[in-house]
Chains A and B, each alone.
Chain A
Amino acid sequence: MTAAIPAPRSRQMRACLLCSVIQTSADFRKDGCPNCDSILQLRDNPERIQSCTTQYFDGIIAVTDPEKSWVARWQRTSKFVRGMYAARVKGRISEDIEAELEAAGIKYRPRDQTEQD
């Protein structure tokens, strides 16, 4: 499985607030988030895409072998599909999604590197 790889110069690149995958908004709309659409349900949902992805991110990581890559492990994306990921994503997911994650027993880690442990 591979996420859609945007064109390098695309101005529409957005990063998922939950898994930090980078796709164009068109790809998000078409296929949703390859990793977390079960929760975010971005497919065909432009508003959701607006609120759950952002164009404010920095550092682009091409993850070609998520399982073996330390970088992916460090970024906590080793269980995700191959693709482009952001090193840091600005912003947090909305609170109701966070609550949803919590209900599912999943700890939400913001990708803005504000929390370190």
Chain B
Amino acid sequence: MSDLDEHEHMHNDADDMMQDEEEEEAQSETDHGQPRRRHYDEDEEDEEDEEDDEEEVSGRKPKKRKRKQGASRFIDLEAEVSDEDEGEEDDEDYGGDGFIEHMDGGIDEDVGRAHHARLDSKTFDGEDRTAEEIATDLKHRYGGRNAVRYSGDMNEVPQRLLMPSVHDASLWQVKVKPGRERDIVFTLMRKFIDMEFTARPLQILSAFERDTLPGMIYVEARSSKQVKDACKGLSGAYTVKVNLVPIEEMASLLQIRKKELTVTPGSWVRIKRGKYLGDLAQVVDVTENGEDVGLKFIPRIDLNPRDDGSLDALGKKRKKGSTAAGTMRPPQKPFNFEEVVKVYGRQAVAKRNQVYVFQGDTYKDGFIEKDFKLNALSLDDVNPTLDEITQFSRRQDGLGGENPVDLSIIAEASRKAAVSVLQPGDHVEVFEGEQAGVHGTVEEVSGDVVTITAAGLDIEGQKVDIPARSVRKRFKPGDHVKVMTGKNADETGLVVAVADNIVTFLSDMSMKEVSVFSKDLREAAEVGSGTNIVGDYELHDLVQLDLQTVGVIFKTERDSFRVLDQNGQVRIVQPRQITMRRDSRRAIATDHDGHELRVEDNVKEVDGEGRKGQVLHIHQSFFAFLYNREISENGGIFVTRARSLVSLAPKSSVFPKPGADLSKMNPALALHPGGMAGSSIGRGPRDRMIGIIVQITRGPHKGYVGTIKDTNGPIARVELNTNNKVVTIEKTKLIERNTPGSNRQFADRLKAMGPPGEPGKPWGTRSVNPYASGGSTPTWGAGSRTPAWAGGGRTPNPSSDSRTPAWNASSRTPNPYANNAQTPAWNVSSRTPNPYADGGKTPAWNVSSRTPNPYASNNGGATPARNAWGGATPGRNAWDTSTGWGDGWNAAPTPAAATSPAYAAPTPGPGTYDAATPFSYGAGAMSAQTPVSAPTPAAGGWREEESEGLSEEWLLDNALSNVLQRIKIRIEGSRNYNYLDGKYEGLTGRVMAATRVGTNMEQTATIAFDNGEQRPILMKYVVPMQPSGLDGENGVLLDGPYKGREARVRSLSEDGMLTCHGDFGFAEIPQDKFAILTVAPA
């Protein structure tokens, strides 16, 4: 670079730095020339570069130019302006003074010269400024294209930092006439510009409207007055009320987004106007700015134009005419070259490759392909129907039309809908896009974006935003799901397979496999039967619909049932339309072969379709409702006549199953007229609670007394005594009201009662099938042992009733004893004399034996425990026999009786005897479902229950009055209760007197102890002295038909049975039911 160049730089530099750089300029130019270049702004640098280039090419040229420029300072400004190279010239112009300096400094480096230059530059200051101004002017004048340089300097600031603060002007909401929002915003702008330089300019900062907020605009201003002033006189703006927008809502007003409507190739749209109004079209392509959309749809070509003659020549007119004809638009029909040519002539259709051009439109594969403006299409709520889509897919597959519908198209179409079904908490997976394969839990759904917390290896726990259309719900086999929408709505089931977006699950109800889109599924919180109960009714209940109609619920819906009635008709019923639930558990019908048909039997039809199934319900011994899970219709339930069914597991009449229908072989039963059994069948069992007097314990009717008129499940209808009104009330709110002071909690009774109705039945009914029906329901056994009975039995008045002639017969059958004798279990208990004695002495037993039914049922009860009791207790057998039952029983000893280990378990000592309250029995052990396994407490409780309040008063039995004072007794159990410090425990003596004192008092007996003492003792601690088994002991029978009769002990077997002989003959009795008497009458 030449010296000269350096100087030139210097002078450029100088003009930049102006006067404040004087000192530096004075210094040597070579030092500072280079660094100063860095201060140049871009333009100058560029230009200088250019100059440099030029200079390098020829060193002289620039100098020449400079000279010329140097000279130009003496030339008029006009001349400079008119110069050709404007931009450069500008710079050079105000570099004029520098030139001078350069000239001076370049030639002579004298300080004085430099000073001159400074002076010079000063003198030129004024002119220099003018030049600058001129430059600015020029820039303005020519700078149309770069007057405002676009710089994104605002773009680096995050939006959140732009939130409004209190220092910003406020937004004011102005109500405007709907439809005029845009006009008013524009008017405000124009008004602002017009008024800008007037005395009263508008003082607003901005104004805006949003399409989504019709009827209002927002104006930014410092005060509402400014807003009102601005809007004054604008038609359509209602400035009476101007509302301040809270500062936190300001940003959201600008963030409102219209629902995003995107058009992507392949999506479905509808055409909004024109000939194809409402037609479905598929997007083929979209222009880059999204304004024009290429569509493919089924054309509507008029193949019957009105005047055929003028067609060929005037194709365009024709077209107009046909569209204008309007009222009848041509039907949708795929483009068919032959047809069109036939009507319009060959010239009308041009063919290019595979594409036909007809009347300016292109047709391909029968579709018309046409560009539409986006705003001529409706993009939302397209809802293509299956038919429409089929038409498209068919065409796409060529004209064959045999291919089945491509489900994926429909899936795609419904994908949009899928977005709306996503909810936080759903498990989803991403199936397309970058994040494909990621799965996680939906955290948040905002518009079309879901935020999911990813699960998985590398991005575990991260939150990811995903377009909602790219995710689908995720299920895995084993999930329990519920269908939310569609024809399978409310179906629940277990997922067995998942393939893409189709989930197959096994329905809980129909046991069928159901395939649904995963979007229609949710994971169901309620598992299983939760959906099967509506109100008080449950799936597979037999319900009474009206007087004539019953049906079985085979499907439960949200709040209704589908019921198959006995006529085979399906009804949809609301819970309130159901009169009551019917219980057919003990209903019996006759099958095709004349055998009994019972609930739960597996049967099949002999005629018709030969369907198999399990008997769910029997109605009027005629209709049988069967269930077969393999039948899909009606949830697997069907109704048929009982007469047309045969058992699948044939019941052999030769080999009765153990514990099965023995009564049939019992000749004793043959005596009973069949009609009796028959007549009782079919009549619904009368609810045993009906007629009971109850008191209401809660609710508005609290304290009222009434009679139960009807019951249904947990509900009872009670007729109030006070006003004859019938109220419906829950049974738990009732107490039984029998005798004063002995009101009984009703619920307890309910529990113990088991299936209602049995006791009221003639026992003959039982005889039809005592073992099976009684036995199959454990509750039955429990029910028969209800304390209620014990309670009812508190009328100690038994002896006469129990003397049925059957006794003799049964007593002569040695069978049971032999049998029982072999059971070790029995031995165990036989050595503990207490329980039997107690039980035997209880009047309750006697009483109940008067009402044969419960005992019959006990006997018949196939519940093992029952058998054990009944069978193993000879004493009981004896009484049972008195009902005519014993025969059957004894003839068929059940193994259960012999071996039941549970029975062996009890330790019927005093402890059990003393234990507990009367209710413990009903509520407790005995109602336990497995009586067999109910060991000590069960037995104890039971025994105690039988003896409670009864055995305590055994001494008061009238039958014993003759021998009362001879009965030897022992005090037992007093120590446990610390009665008289227990000091009489174990003492023996004899009864002096026992008389009843009051009804609810504890009874006492006066005892003369062997040690001479004589005092009253609570009767409950007084137990009879039992025989030691020595032959010749004299005693009295405390129970059985010969109660109160004196007898002499003959032998005592190991199992505790005592054989005695009295004037009535021989008798056998448990040893604890026998009291020793003093030898001589007192």
Q: Is B258 an interface residue (CB 8 A)?
A: yes
Which among A35, A62, A91, A107 is the interface contact of B189 at CB below 8 angstroms?
Answer: A62
Q: State whether A50 touches B289 (Cβ < 8 A).
A: yes
With contact pairs A64-B204, A74-B162, A117-B159 given, residues A107 and B144 touching in the complex (Cβ less than 8 Å): no
As a 0/1 sequence over residues 1036 to 1064 of chain B, the CB contacts with chain A under 8 angstroms (1 = contact) are: 00000000000000000000000000000
Write out the residue numbers on chain B whose beta carbons fall within 8 Å of the beta carbon of A68.
Answer: 169, 205
Q: State whether A51 touches B288 (Cβ < 8 A).
A: yes
Q: State whether A74 touches B251 (Cβ < 8 A).
A: yes
Write out the residue numbers on chain B whose beta carbons fall within 8 Å of the beta carbon of A1.
Answer: 147-148
Give chain B interface residues in 146-171, CB to chain A under 8 Å.
Answer: 146-160, 162-164, 168-169, 171
Write out the residue numbers on chain B whose beta carbons fall within 8 Å of the beta carbon of A19.
Answer: 150
Which among A41, A62, A74, A83 is the interface contact of B254 at CB below 8 angstroms?
Answer: A74
Write out the residue numbers on chain A whose beta carbons fall within 8 Å of the beta carbon of B1066.
Answer: none
Q: How far is the CA of A25 from the CA of B255 in the complex (A)?
A: 26
Which among B155, B183, B193, B205 is the interface contact of A69 at CB below 8 angstroms?
Answer: B205
Q: State whether A107 touches B152 (Cβ < 8 A).
A: yes
CB distance from B520 to the nearest CB of A (A): 30
With contact pairs A75-B254, A113-B257, A117-B158 given, residues A60 and B209 touching in the complex (Cβ less than 8 Å): yes
Q: How far is the CA of A2 from the CA of B206 in the complex (A)?
A: 14
Give chain A interface residues in 65-108, CB to chain B under 8 Å.
Answer: 65, 68-76, 78-84, 87-88, 90-91, 94, 101, 106-108
List 10 A-B pairs, Cβ < 8 Å: A8-B185, A43-B144, A58-B212, A61-B207, A63-B206, A64-B207, A69-B169, A74-B164, A84-B189, A106-B152
Q: State whether B186 touches A5 (Cβ < 8 A).
A: yes
With contact pairs A35-B148, A58-B258 given, residues A90 and B290 touching in the complex (Cβ less than 8 Å): yes
Chain B residue with the shortest CB-CB distance to A54: B289
Q: Is B582 an interface residue (CB 8 A)?
A: no
Q: Is A29 an interface residue (CB 8 A)?
A: no
Write out the residue numbers on chain A whose beta carbons fall within 8 Å of the beta carbon of B207.
Answer: 61-62, 64
Which among B144, B171, B206 is the interface contact of A64 at CB below 8 angstroms?
Answer: B206
Q: State whether A62 touches B206 (Cβ < 8 A).
A: yes
Q: How far is the CA of A76 from the CA of B480 in the complex (A)?
A: 51
Give chain B interface residues in 215-262, CB to chain A under 8 Å.
Answer: 220, 250-251, 254-258
Q: Is B202 an interface residue (CB 8 A)?
A: yes
Write out the residue numbers on chain B whose beta carbons fall within 8 Å of the beta carbon of A83.
Answer: 189
Chain B residue with the shortest CB-CB distance to A5: B189
Write out the residue numbers on chain B whose beta carbons fall within 8 Å of the beta carbon of A69.
Answer: 169, 205-206, 220
With contact pairs A5-B190, A58-B211, A76-B155 given, residues A113 and B255 touching in the complex (Cβ less than 8 Å): yes
Q: State whether A62 touches B185 (Cβ < 8 A).
A: yes
With contact pairs A56-B374, A91-B289 given, residues A106 and B208 touching in the complex (Cβ less than 8 Å): no
Q: How far is the CA of A101 from the CA of B156 in the complex (A)?
A: 13
Given contacts A82-B189, A107-B152, 10 further A-B contacts (CB under 8 A): A38-B145, A55-B291, A56-B374, A58-B212, A59-B256, A63-B206, A80-B148, A91-B289, A101-B152, A109-B155
Q: Is B182 an interface residue (CB 8 A)?
A: yes
Write out the residue numbers on chain B whose beta carbons fall within 8 Å of the beta carbon of A63.
Answer: 205-206
Q: Is B394 an interface residue (CB 8 A)?
A: no
Write out the residue numbers on chain A whose beta carbons fall within 8 Å of the beta carbon of B159.
Answer: 74, 116-117
Q: State whether B189 touches A64 (Cβ < 8 A).
A: yes
Q: State whether A8 touches B187 (Cβ < 8 A).
A: yes
Write out the residue numbers on chain B whose beta carbons fall within 8 Å of the beta carbon of A73.
Answer: 154, 162, 168
Chain A residue with the shortest CB-CB distance to B146: A38
With contact pairs A39-B150, A62-B206 given, residues A70 and B155 touching in the complex (Cβ less than 8 Å): no
Write out the residue numbers on chain A whose beta carbons fall within 8 Å of the beta carbon of B171.
Answer: 71
Write out the residue numbers on chain B whose beta carbons fall within 8 Å of the beta carbon of A56.
Answer: 289-291, 374
Which among A51, A70, A117 is the interface contact of B250 at CB below 8 angstroms?
Answer: A70
Q: Is B735 an interface residue (CB 8 A)?
A: no
As a 0/1 sequence over residues 19 to 42 of chain A, the CB contacts with chain B under 8 angstroms (1 = contact) are: 100000000000110111111110
What secondary structure prevails in chain A residues at the interface with B?
Answer: loop
Q: Is B192 an interface residue (CB 8 A)?
A: yes
Which among B155, B169, B186, B257 is the interface contact of A62 at CB below 8 angstroms?
Answer: B186
Q: State whether B186 touches A60 (Cβ < 8 A).
A: yes
Write out the residue numbers on chain B whose beta carbons fall within 8 Å of the beta carbon of A78.
Answer: 154
With contact pairs A56-B290, A108-B155 given, residues A8 and B210 touching in the complex (Cβ less than 8 Å): no
Which among A38, A71, A84 is the interface contact of B205 at CB below 8 angstroms?
Answer: A71
Q: How far is the CA of A26 from the CA of B253 in the complex (A)?
A: 30
CB distance from A115 to the nearest CB of B (A): 9
With contact pairs A8-B187, A106-B151, A113-B255 given, residues A43 and B145 touching in the complex (Cβ less than 8 Å): yes
Q: How far is the CA of A38 from the CA of B154 in the complex (A)?
A: 17
Q: Is B188 an interface residue (CB 8 A)?
A: yes
Q: State whether A71 touches B152 (Cβ < 8 A).
A: no
Question: Which B residues contact A (CB, under 8 angstroms)?
Answer: 144-160, 162-164, 168-169, 171, 182-183, 185-190, 192-193, 202, 204-212, 220, 250-251, 254-258, 288-291, 374
With contact pairs A18-B150, A71-B206, A75-B254 given, residues A51 and B192 touching in the complex (Cβ less than 8 Å): no
Q: How far is the CA of A50 from the CA of B288 in the complex (A)?
A: 10
CB distance from A9 to the nearest CB of B (A): 7
Write out the residue numbers on chain B whose beta carbons fall within 8 Å of the beta carbon of A109.
Answer: 152, 155
Q: How far is the CA of A108 from the CA of B192 in the complex (A)?
A: 31
Q: How far is the CA of A43 from the CA of B169 in the complex (A)?
A: 35
With contact pairs A8-B186, A71-B254, A113-B257 given, residues A94 and B288 touching in the complex (Cβ less than 8 Å): yes
Give how many A residues have a beta carbon under 8 Å from the other chain's beta carbons.
62
Give chain A interface residues in 3-25, CB to chain B under 8 Å.
Answer: 5-9, 18-19
CB distance from B922 to the nearest CB of A (A): 71
CB distance from A109 to the nearest CB of B (A): 5
Chain A residue with the shortest CB-CB distance to B201: A64
Q: How far is the CA of A72 from the CA of B598 in the complex (A)?
A: 85
Write out the residue numbers on chain B whose beta carbons fall within 8 Å of the beta carbon of A40.
Answer: 150
Write out the residue numbers on chain A whose beta carbons fall within 8 Å of the beta carbon of B156.
Answer: 107
Q: How far is the CA of A59 from the CA of B144 in the complex (A)?
A: 28
CB distance from B308 to the nearest CB of A (A): 39
Q: State whether A79 touches B193 (Cβ < 8 A).
A: no
Write out the residue numbers on chain B whose beta carbons fall within 8 Å of the beta carbon of A7.
Answer: 186
Chain A residue with the shortest CB-CB distance to B147: A1
Q: State whether A87 touches B254 (Cβ < 8 A).
A: yes
Q: State whether B193 touches A54 (Cβ < 8 A).
A: no
Q: How far is the CA of A40 from the CA of B855 in the complex (A)?
A: 105
CB distance from A104 to the nearest CB of B (A): 8
Q: State whether A60 touches B257 (Cβ < 8 A).
A: no
CB distance from A89 to the nearest CB of B (A): 11
Write out the residue numbers on chain B whose beta carbons fall within 8 Å of the beta carbon of A71.
Answer: 171, 205-206, 208, 220, 254
Write out the residue numbers on chain B whose beta carbons fall within 8 Å of the beta carbon of A81.
Answer: 148
Q: How far is the CA of A62 from the CA of B209 in the complex (A)?
A: 9
Q: Tell which of B148, B155, B290 has the most Cβ of chain A within 10 Å.
A: B148
Q: How far is the CA of A51 from the CA of B257 in the complex (A)?
A: 23
Q: How far is the CA of A37 from the CA of B290 in the complex (A)?
A: 23
Write out the residue numbers on chain B whose beta carbons fall within 8 Å of the beta carbon of A60.
Answer: 182, 185-186, 208-209
Q: How far is the CA of A5 from the CA of B191 in the complex (A)?
A: 11
Q: How far is the CA of A75 from the CA of B193 in the complex (A)?
A: 21
Q: Tell which of B171, B206, B208 has the most Cβ of chain A within 10 Å.
A: B206
Write out the residue numbers on chain A whose beta carbons fall within 8 Å of the beta carbon of B374.
Answer: 56
With contact pairs A2-B193, A36-B150, A106-B151 given, residues A59 and B158 touching in the complex (Cβ less than 8 Å): no
Chain A residue with the shortest CB-CB distance to B160: A117
Chain A residue with the shortest CB-CB distance to B156: A107
CB distance from A1 to the nearest CB of B (A): 7
CB distance from B235 to the nearest CB of A (A): 13
Q: How far is the CA of A91 from the CA of B612 in the complex (A)?
A: 67
Q: State whether A62 touches B183 (Cβ < 8 A).
A: no
Q: Tell which of B146, B155, B289 has the most Cβ of chain A within 10 Å.
A: B289
CB distance from A25 to the nearest CB of B (A): 12
Q: How far is the CA of A86 from the CA of B826 in the complex (A)?
A: 100
Write out the residue numbers on chain A whose beta carbons fall within 8 Å of the beta carbon of B149.
Answer: 38
Write out the residue numbers on chain A whose beta carbons fall within 8 Å of the beta carbon of B185.
Answer: 8, 60-62, 84
CB distance from A106 to the nearest CB of B (A): 3
Chain A residue with the shortest CB-CB distance to B211: A58
CB distance from A7 to the nearest CB of B (A): 8
Which among B150, B190, B206 is the interface contact of A72 at CB below 8 angstroms?
Answer: B206
